[in-house]
Amino acid sequence: MAPATFAGAALRARTGRGAGWDRDSIIIAIQEWVATYGEPPRAADWNPSSAKWSGQLWRVERYRAGRDDGSPWPALNTCKSVPLSRTDLACSRASNCSGAASAGINGP
């Protein structure tokens, strides 16, 4: 019997946990999303089940497409479990923020 599938759950995503996500890698993913799609990710962008439920299938397709390097986008629940401050989010949009610079993150 084939395994059950969920909206947005790519088969490769279920093969292992990988390196995991931390504060800095999530900020980098947000910056990559902004560079790719021109706006920060909305909750439905990284929660394909919610996007599917609300009829926004194009958001599911973007999530499933993954990042330019072939790795997946972080899941919304993963992002919610990693503490980010408002300063972190502001730095993800700024190229000259000292917090982003100290983390080795360049702005878009």
Domain residues for the domain of 39 are: 20-102
Q: Is 50 domain-assigned?
A: yes
* Model confidence pLDDT, tens digit, residues 51-108: 999 999 999 999 999 999 999 999 999 999 887 666 666 665 655 554 444 444 444 4
Please give the pLDDT value at position 83: 77
- CA 26-29-30 angle, to 5 degrees, is 90
- Quote the Cα angle for 71-5-1, to 5°: 120
Asked if residue 2 is part of any domain, the answer here is no
> Is 7 a domain residue?
no
- pLDDT (tens digit, 9 = 90+) per residue, 5-42? 556 555 544 444 545 899 999 999 999 999 999 999 99
Instruction: For residue 6, tell me if it sits in a domain.
Output: no
The better pLDDT of the pair 10, 50 is held by 50
Q: Identify whether 86 is part of a domain.
A: yes
Instruction: Count structural domains, the chain.
Output: 1
Domain membership of residue 27 (yes or no) is yes
Measure the CA–CA gap between 108 and 104, rounded to whole angstroms: 13
Is residue 92 assigned to a domain? Answer: yes
Q: Does residue 108 lie within any of the structural domains?
A: no
With a CB cutoff of 8 Å and minimum separation 6, the contacts of 76 are 43, 46, 47, 50
CA distance 75 to 99: 24
